[in-house]
Amino acid sequence: MLVEGPVEIVLEDGSTVVCDRFQVAVCTCRRSRAYPLCDTSHRRRRHTAHEE
């Protein structure tokens, strides 16, 4: 999900992630290794997901 930056994201554990880009891709699928920021892991095709 693209949002206008800069952003400060508060995670469930209370920690915060700050990103000062003018546009920030926020992960909504939770597959990102850079969660809460999107690293395009959501693009992985379904039939390869079980190979992890």
Residues that bind ligand FES (CB under 6 A): 27-29, 31-32, 38-42
CB closer to ligand FES, 10 vs 34: 34
Q: Which residues contact 42 (CB under 8 A, 6 or more apart)?
A: 27, 29, 31, 32
CB closer to ligand FES, 21 vs 42: 42
CB of 36 to ligand FES, least distance (A): 9
Task: Report DSSP letters for 25-44, one per residue.
Answer: EB-SSS--TTTTB--SGGGS
CB of 23 to ligand FES, least distance (A): 14
